[in-house]
Amino acid sequence: MGITRDDRAQAARQSWVVRLFYDTEGDLRGWRALAVVAFLAGAIVLGTVMASFAGAAFGPETLAWGALIVFLGIKIPLLVFVFWILMRQDGGYTQSDLTKSERMRVLESLVQQARDARGTPDEAQRLRWASREAWRIADEAPDDERQDAIAVAVEISGMKPAPPERARA
């Protein structure tokens, strides 16, 4: 089935590299990964510029060696790092992979988005979307958590769009 979240959490307790980029629950520390990618991209730009100047000053052989060093020393590690991150993510998750606290955070966010939709031109579409998402989460929730999820889905489904301006007047 691939690498699960529990597998990532187990690995996070073992490897210093994984601990650097994943928390103890197996979630990616996105800002750290982004910082490493940004650093390596900057190093590629700097290395390419330095190789170009060295090639202009010392000849084409220096340019070729500089380009080879930048490629092997920076670009390949960057690609390996990004590929490693992508392979560990295992294509996303399903609602059944969520913990109770994560599921409740998602449902609270849906309720907040539904409330924020009040008075917007696309209020009806936003409320329908939030309702569909809440019911999907409720359908996929484990039995012991389903009641709470259904209560939130019913709350969102009960929100009705405000009547149009002409109907209010």
Domain hosting 137: range is 96-168
Residues 114 and 53 in one domain: no
Handedness of CA 143, 148, 152, 157 (dihedral sign): positive
As for how many domains the chain has, the answer is 2
Residues 126 and 70 in one domain: no
Residues 28 and 87 in one domain: yes
Rounded to two decimals, the pTM is 0.45
Place of tokens 């590299």: 17
Q: 117 phi and psi, to 5 degrees?
A: -75, -15
pLDDT tens sequence across 93-149: 455 567 788 888 888 998 998 888 888 888 888 888 888 888 888 888 888 888 888
Give whichever of 38-52, 76-90, 155-169 has the largest mean pLDDT. 38-52
Residues 124 and 68 in one domain: no
